[in-house]
Amino acid sequence: VCTGIAFALHAYTNEGDNILIQNPVYNPFRTVIEEANRTLVMQDLLGNEQEGYTIDFDALESAFKDDDIKVFLFCSPQNPTGRVWHRDELAKVVALCKQYDVLLFSDEIHRDLIMPGHEHIAIGNIDPDFDNYVLFASPSKTFNLAGFNHSFMVVPRADLREKLDTFLHAIHVTGGQPAGYIASEAAYTYGSEWVENVNQVIWDNYQLLKTTVQTALPQVQFSDLQGTYLAWLDLGAYVKNADLKEVVQDRARLGVNYGTTYWPTRPEDTHIRINLATKTEIIETAANNLVKAIQEWQ
């Protein structure tokens, strides 16, 4: 997917163009923009674990109006907060992109990993008159097919498809790996039972982690898991940013991702991101280790 985003940035924008992202977000969003020599414009989501995370639509509109944003690189569902955007939120994003003529890149790689009670809506299903977008996705996460190096883009505008083809032709990218097409087709054709089961395991793992940790440490705040396989939690009530690695990595022996990776403008951030896509026994051990390490740290 990141390769696709890089292709699209090169095909549709020029060096120095302003590209907007919203923190906290999957960190290669920054590097893919910077490495393409485009200008990174960052703003924050609103909210936190207690209130829930939302889009700051006033800030989004100001950026579109005043900062000459060429592309909004949007994460839907959102990594790392686990938000699955509602129809009204997506409708506002689309309306603003239309109003200010901003090309929308919608990274929907987590689109199948949706928790009970939530529904992912593809960006093309919001407004039939809106076609100024590129949707990026892949069966790689849902079906554990990342080894095939295969993803897809939906490009509804004919002129944008042509521009992309011209760019790909120029760099001699003529197609994906044949095995990747076959694996993707097989996964999407026959994989619905797998998807149901995998979402159940992720949901059970999230509940287990959250219950175990919060029973012992009630002030650890968990973001509501609506989608993705990533738990996003704030340890700030118990551990300072400077001590996070010692507690989580050295004492609890957990390999996690730290909040500052996703939120570089918050150097004191105290979130960690835990991957839930594993065996329940591993999550149980992780939860117990984390609780013990934090309790001993107090």
| Distance of closest approach, residue 183 Cβ to ligand PLP, in angstroms | 14
Which structure tokens are listed for 73?
């690189």
Q: Distance between CA atoms of 122 and 172, rounded to whole angstroms?
A: 30
Choosing from 63, 71, 75, 183, the residue that interacts with ligand PLP (CB under 6 A) is 75
Residue 1 near ligand PLP by CB under 6 A = yes
| Distance of closest approach, residue 1 Cβ to ligand PLP, in angstroms | 4
Q: Distance between CA atoms of 72 and 69, rounded to whole angstroms?
A: 7
Contact 111, 138 (CB under 8 A): no
Q: Distance between CA atoms of 119 and 76, rounded to whole angstroms?
A: 11
| Distance of closest approach, residue 250 Cβ to ligand PLP, in angstroms | 25
- What is the greatest pairwise CA distance in the chain? 60
Residue 60 near ligand PLP by CB under 6 A = no
Residue number with CB closer to ligand PLP (150 or 239): 150
Residue number with CB closer to ligand PLP (223 or 236): 223
> Of residues 146-185, which lie at the interface with ligand PLP (CB under 6 A)?
146, 151
Residue number with CB closer to ligand PLP (9 or 75): 75
> Of residues 13-42, which lie at the interface with ligand PLP (CB under 6 A)?
26
Q: Which position has the token pair 């390999």? A: 255
Please name which of 74, 34, 77 lies closest in space to residue 57, comparing C-alpha atoms.
Answer: 74
Residue 274 near ligand PLP by CB under 6 A = no
Residue 112 near ligand PLP by CB under 6 A = no
Residue 109 near ligand PLP by CB under 6 A = yes
Choosing from 79, 81, 184, 270, the residue that interacts with ligand PLP (CB under 6 A) is 79
Residue 276 near ligand PLP by CB under 6 A = no
Choosing from 138, 199, 223, 270, the residue that interacts with ligand PLP (CB under 6 A) is 138
SS3 percent helix, strand, coil of the chain, rounded to 5, is 45, 20, 35
Choosing from 140, 142, 184, 223, the residue that interacts with ligand PLP (CB under 6 A) is 140
- Amino acid letter for position 33: I
Please name which of 205, 227, 203, 222 lies closest in space to residue 278, comparing C-alpha atoms.
Answer: 205
Query: What DSSP assignment string belongs to 18-42?
Result: EEEEEES--THHHHHHHHTTPEEEE
Residue 107 near ligand PLP by CB under 6 A = yes
Residue number with CB closer to ligand PLP (12 or 148): 148
| Distance of closest approach, residue 36 Cβ to ligand PLP, in angstroms | 14
From 111-119, 138-146, 245-253, 260-268, span contacting ligand PLP (CB under 6 A): 138-146
Cα-based distances in Å from 65 to 14, 59, 79, 103, 143: 19, 10, 26, 14, 40
Residue 81 near ligand PLP by CB under 6 A = no
Burial code (b: 16+ CB inside 10 Å, e: under 16) for 62-100 equals ebbeeeebbbbbbbbbbbbbbbbbeeebbebbbebbeeb
| Distance of closest approach, residue 95 Cβ to ligand PLP, in angstroms | 23
Contact 254, 183 (CB under 8 A): no
Which residues of the shown chain bind ligand PLP in the complex (CB under 6 A)?
Answer: 1-2, 26, 75, 79, 107, 109, 138, 140, 146, 151
